[in-house]
Amino acid sequence: MNGAKGTKIVTKPGPATLKLISYLLLIDDGLIEVRSKGSRSVHKTTQKGMEAIERFERFQSGGEKIHV
């Protein structure tokens, strides 16, 4: 709110900061989209996000290996 230098954000990350960064990366990667609905914002998983969830679930169950 009052502004912060990048070094303060990076050197003192708390759980809320890490959660925010993770969330912003999901938006940046196209896994979540943000739409305006009146005065509110609606966050929705994209098709790409749903596919990522499905791949993760298959990986967790041992049915798929992750390729980088």
Q: Would residue 38 count as lying in a domain?
A: yes
CB within 8 A of 35, min separation 6: which ones? 41, 42, 44
Q: What is the pTM of this model?
A: 0.62
Q: How many domains does the chain have?
A: 1
Q: Would residue 44 count as lying in a domain?
A: yes
Confidence of residue 48 (pLDDT cuts 50, 70, 90): very high
34 bridge partner residues: 43
* pLDDT for the residue numbered 33: 94
Q: Would residue 68 count as lying in a domain?
A: no
CB 27 within 8 A of CB 35: no
Q: Would residue 6 count as lying in a domain?
A: no
Domain span at residue 23?
Answer: 12-60
* pLDDT for the residue numbered 64: 65
Residue 53, pLDDT above cutoff 80:
yes
* pLDDT for the residue numbered 5: 58
pLDDT in tens, 13-46: 677 777 888 888 999 999 999 988 888 888 899 9
